Protein backbone atom coordinates (compact mmCIF):
# COMPACT_ATOMS: atom_id res chain seq x y z
CA UNK A 1 0.00 0.00 0.00
CA UNK A 2 1.37 3.44 -0.92
CA UNK A 3 2.22 6.11 1.63
CA UNK A 4 -0.62 8.24 0.25
CA UNK A 5 -3.08 5.37 0.71
CA UNK A 6 -1.84 4.81 4.26
CA UNK A 7 -2.28 8.49 5.03
CA UNK A 8 -5.77 8.51 3.53
CA UNK A 9 -6.81 5.45 5.55
CA UNK A 10 -5.38 6.96 8.75
CA UNK A 11 -7.18 10.25 8.14
CA UNK A 12 -10.46 8.44 7.51
CA UNK A 13 -10.02 6.36 10.67
CA UNK A 14 -9.16 9.44 12.71
CA UNK A 15 -12.20 11.29 11.38
CA UNK A 16 -14.44 8.34 12.20
CA UNK A 17 -13.02 8.16 15.71
CA UNK A 18 -13.49 11.90 16.22
CA UNK A 19 -17.11 11.60 15.12
CA UNK A 20 -17.76 8.69 17.49
CA UNK A 21 -16.01 10.44 20.35
CA UNK A 22 -17.91 13.67 19.74
CA UNK A 23 -21.19 11.76 19.68
CA UNK A 24 -20.28 10.04 22.95
CA UNK A 25 -19.60 13.40 24.61
CA UNK A 26 -22.81 14.94 23.31
CA UNK A 27 -24.92 11.96 24.31
CA UNK A 28 -23.52 11.58 27.82
CA UNK A 29 -26.06 12.18 30.55
CA UNK A 30 -25.99 11.98 34.32
CA UNK A 31 -28.09 9.00 35.44
CA UNK A 32 -29.78 8.44 38.76
CA UNK A 33 -31.32 5.09 37.86
CA UNK A 34 -29.14 2.01 37.45
CA UNK A 35 -29.70 -1.64 36.74
CA UNK A 36 -28.84 -3.72 39.82
CA UNK A 37 -26.48 -6.06 37.95
CA UNK A 38 -22.92 -6.12 39.28
CA UNK A 39 -20.21 -4.98 36.90
CA UNK A 40 -17.60 -7.68 36.05
CA UNK A 41 -14.60 -7.26 38.32
CA UNK A 42 -12.08 -7.57 35.49
CA UNK A 43 -13.84 -4.75 33.64
CA UNK A 44 -13.97 -2.62 36.78
CA UNK A 45 -10.23 -3.04 37.31
CA UNK A 46 -9.51 -2.16 33.69
CA UNK A 47 -11.80 0.86 34.01
CA UNK A 48 -10.04 2.04 37.19
CA UNK A 49 -6.66 1.54 35.54
CA UNK A 50 -7.76 3.94 32.79
CA UNK A 51 -9.06 6.41 35.36
CA UNK A 52 -5.68 6.55 37.04
CA UNK A 53 -3.95 7.47 33.77
CA UNK A 54 -5.39 10.96 34.28
CA UNK A 55 -2.81 13.75 34.45
CA UNK A 56 -1.73 15.37 37.70
CA UNK A 57 0.62 18.18 38.63
CA UNK A 58 4.22 17.01 38.16
CA UNK A 59 2.77 13.49 37.75
CA UNK A 60 2.75 13.24 41.54
CA UNK A 61 -0.70 11.60 41.45
CA UNK A 62 -1.90 13.35 44.58
CA UNK A 63 -5.40 11.89 44.27
CA UNK A 64 -6.92 8.56 45.18
CA UNK A 65 -10.13 6.63 44.67
CA UNK A 66 -12.09 4.78 47.35
CA UNK A 67 -14.42 2.00 46.19
CA UNK A 68 -17.37 1.92 48.55
CA UNK A 69 -18.69 -1.65 48.78
CA UNK A 70 -19.53 -2.59 52.36
CA UNK A 71 -23.30 -2.16 52.95
CA UNK A 72 -22.76 -0.39 56.26
CA UNK A 73 -20.29 2.03 54.70
CA UNK A 74 -22.70 2.62 51.83
CA UNK A 75 -25.46 3.40 54.29
CA UNK A 76 -23.26 5.95 56.06
CA UNK A 77 -22.24 7.51 52.75
CA UNK A 78 -25.91 7.58 51.71
CA UNK A 79 -26.75 9.56 54.84
CA UNK A 80 -23.82 11.93 54.29
CA UNK A 81 -24.84 12.42 50.65
CA UNK A 82 -28.33 13.68 51.46
CA UNK A 83 -29.83 10.26 50.82
CA UNK A 84 -29.42 10.41 47.06
CA UNK A 85 -30.78 7.09 45.85
CA UNK A 86 -28.01 6.37 43.34
CA UNK A 87 -25.58 6.04 46.25
CA UNK A 88 -27.36 2.84 47.26
CA UNK A 89 -28.53 1.61 43.87
CA UNK A 90 -25.45 1.92 41.65
CA UNK A 91 -23.35 -1.27 41.57
CA UNK A 92 -20.12 0.75 41.75
CA UNK A 93 -19.64 3.79 43.97
CA UNK A 94 -16.41 5.77 44.01
CA UNK A 95 -15.15 8.62 46.16
CA UNK A 96 -12.43 10.77 44.57
CA UNK A 97 -9.98 11.92 47.21
CA UNK A 98 -7.78 15.00 46.96
CA UNK A 99 -4.51 14.75 48.90
CA UNK A 100 -2.95 18.14 49.72
CA UNK A 101 0.81 17.59 50.00
CA UNK A 102 0.24 14.03 48.79
CA UNK A 103 3.36 14.36 46.66
CA UNK A 104 5.39 13.73 49.82
CA UNK A 105 3.96 10.19 49.87
CA UNK A 106 4.29 9.50 46.15
CA UNK A 107 7.50 11.22 45.10
CA UNK A 108 9.91 8.34 45.84
CA UNK A 109 7.77 5.80 43.96
CA UNK A 110 7.27 8.10 40.98
CA UNK A 111 10.97 8.99 40.94
CA UNK A 112 11.97 5.32 40.99
CA UNK A 113 9.92 4.74 37.85
CA UNK A 114 11.57 7.67 36.09
CA UNK A 115 15.00 6.46 37.23
CA UNK A 116 14.30 2.92 36.03
CA UNK A 117 13.21 4.20 32.62
CA UNK A 118 16.33 6.33 32.27
CA UNK A 119 14.35 9.56 31.98
CA UNK A 120 15.85 10.84 35.23
CA UNK A 121 19.22 10.40 36.87
CA UNK A 122 19.91 10.82 40.60
CA UNK A 123 20.97 14.44 40.20
CA UNK A 124 17.83 15.39 38.30
CA UNK A 125 15.62 13.52 40.79
CA UNK A 126 17.11 15.55 43.65
CA UNK A 127 16.65 18.77 41.68
CA UNK A 128 13.06 17.82 40.90
CA UNK A 129 12.26 17.14 44.54
CA UNK A 130 13.61 20.57 45.52
CA UNK A 131 11.58 22.30 42.78
CA UNK A 132 8.37 20.51 43.73
CA UNK A 133 8.94 21.18 47.43
CA UNK A 134 9.41 24.88 46.71
CA UNK A 135 6.30 25.05 44.58
CA UNK A 136 4.24 23.18 47.16
CA UNK A 137 5.47 25.53 49.91
CA UNK A 138 4.17 28.45 47.86
CA UNK A 139 0.80 26.71 47.63
CA UNK A 140 0.71 26.11 51.39
CA UNK A 141 1.70 29.69 52.16
CA UNK A 142 -1.16 30.92 49.96
CA UNK A 143 -3.58 28.43 51.50
CA UNK A 144 -4.11 26.72 48.14
CA UNK A 145 -2.85 23.17 48.66
CA UNK A 146 -6.40 21.82 48.94
CA UNK A 147 -7.54 23.74 45.87
CA UNK A 148 -4.79 22.30 43.67
CA UNK A 149 -5.32 18.76 44.94
CA UNK A 150 -9.05 19.06 44.23
CA UNK A 151 -8.22 19.95 40.63
CA UNK A 152 -6.24 16.74 40.14
CA UNK A 153 -8.97 14.63 41.76
CA UNK A 154 -11.63 16.25 39.59
CA UNK A 155 -9.62 15.60 36.44
CA UNK A 156 -9.49 11.92 37.43
CA UNK A 157 -13.26 11.91 37.95
CA UNK A 158 -13.75 13.40 34.47
CA UNK A 159 -11.64 10.59 33.03
CA UNK A 160 -13.88 8.15 34.92
CA UNK A 161 -17.06 9.57 33.41
CA UNK A 162 -15.68 9.27 29.88
CA UNK A 163 -14.15 5.82 30.43
CA UNK A 164 -17.50 4.61 31.79
CA UNK A 165 -19.41 6.11 28.88
CA UNK A 166 -17.10 4.35 26.41
CA UNK A 167 -18.09 1.02 28.01
CA UNK A 168 -21.78 1.76 27.81
CA UNK A 169 -21.95 2.43 31.55
CA UNK A 170 -23.70 5.41 33.07
CA UNK A 171 -22.45 7.74 35.78
CA UNK A 172 -23.82 10.21 38.28
CA UNK A 173 -21.31 12.72 39.70
CA UNK A 174 -22.31 14.10 43.09
CA UNK A 175 -20.96 17.07 45.00
CA UNK A 176 -23.93 17.41 47.34
CA UNK A 177 -22.77 15.88 50.62
CA UNK A 178 -21.66 16.68 54.14
CA UNK A 179 -17.93 16.33 53.58
CA UNK A 180 -16.98 15.77 57.21
CA UNK A 181 -19.63 13.06 57.59
CA UNK A 182 -18.54 11.49 54.32
CA UNK A 183 -14.89 11.50 55.35
CA UNK A 184 -15.86 9.85 58.63
CA UNK A 185 -17.86 7.20 56.76
CA UNK A 186 -14.86 6.15 54.65
CA UNK A 187 -12.22 6.56 57.35
CA UNK A 188 -10.66 9.62 55.74
CA UNK A 189 -11.21 11.81 58.78
CA UNK A 190 -8.35 10.01 60.54
CA UNK A 191 -5.94 10.47 57.64
CA UNK A 192 -2.50 11.78 58.51
CA UNK A 193 -3.14 14.36 55.79
CA UNK A 194 -6.09 16.74 55.67
CA UNK A 195 -7.62 15.07 52.62
CA UNK A 196 -10.79 16.25 50.89
CA UNK A 197 -13.50 14.47 48.94
CA UNK A 198 -13.75 16.08 45.50
CA UNK A 199 -16.88 14.18 44.51
CA UNK A 200 -18.76 10.91 44.59
CA UNK A 201 -19.37 9.00 41.37
CA UNK A 202 -22.06 6.35 40.96
CA UNK A 203 -21.34 3.96 38.08
CA UNK A 204 -23.39 1.19 36.50
CA UNK A 205 -25.50 0.09 33.58
CA UNK A 206 -28.22 2.64 32.88
CA UNK A 207 -31.88 2.04 33.57
CA UNK A 208 -33.66 4.45 31.26
CA UNK A 209 -32.42 7.29 29.10
CA UNK A 210 -32.53 10.81 30.54
CA UNK A 211 -33.50 13.55 28.11
CA UNK A 212 -31.03 16.14 26.88
CA UNK A 213 -31.19 19.02 29.38
CA UNK A 214 -29.63 21.38 26.85
CA UNK A 215 -26.65 23.69 27.12
CA UNK A 216 -26.25 27.43 26.71
CA UNK A 217 -24.89 28.55 23.32
CA UNK A 218 -21.11 28.68 22.88
CA UNK A 219 -21.08 32.49 22.64
CA UNK A 220 -22.74 32.70 26.03
CA UNK A 221 -20.04 30.70 27.83
CA UNK A 222 -16.82 31.07 25.78
CA UNK A 223 -15.00 34.41 25.64
CA UNK A 224 -11.88 35.68 23.89
CA UNK A 225 -8.95 37.24 25.75
CA UNK A 226 -10.91 38.55 28.72
CA UNK A 227 -13.77 37.59 30.97
CA UNK A 228 -16.66 40.06 30.79
CA UNK A 229 -17.50 41.97 33.94
Q: Name the residue range of residue 140's domain.
A: 30-207
Residue 10's pLDDT is what?
Answer: 61
Tell whether 68 is covered by a domain: yes
Q: Specify if 212 maps to a domain.
A: no
Q: How far apart are CA 191 and CA 31, in angstroms?
A: 31
Q: What's residue 194's pLDDT?
A: 87
The SS3 call for residue 64 is strand
Q: Which helix (H) or strand (E) holds 175?
A: none
- What confidence tens digit (pLDDT) does each residue in 22-71 have? 999 999 999 999 999 999 999 999 999 999 999 999 999 999 999 999 99
Between the alpha carbon of residue 150 and those of residues 35, 71, 81, 111, 154, the distances in Å are 30, 27, 18, 23, 6
Summarised one tens digit per residue, pLDDT across range 148-198 is: 999 999 999 999 999 999 999 999 999 999 999 999 999 999 867 789 999
54 within some domain = yes
- Can you give the pTM of this predicted structure? 0.89
Specify if 25 maps to a domain.
no
Residue 21 lies in a domain: no
In a domain, 81, yes or no: yes
**Where residue 150 sits, what CATH number does that domain have?**
3.40.109.10
Does residue 107 lie in a domain region? yes
Domain assignment present for 18:
no
156/158 Cα distance (integer angstroms): 5
- Tally the domains of the chain: 1
Amino acid sequence: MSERANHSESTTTDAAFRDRFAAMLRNRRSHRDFLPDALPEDEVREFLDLVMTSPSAFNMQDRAVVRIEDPDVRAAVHAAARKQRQVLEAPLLLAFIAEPDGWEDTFDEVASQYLASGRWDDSFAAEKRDRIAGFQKQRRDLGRSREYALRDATIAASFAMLAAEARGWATSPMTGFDEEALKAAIGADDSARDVSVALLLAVGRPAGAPKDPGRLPLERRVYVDEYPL
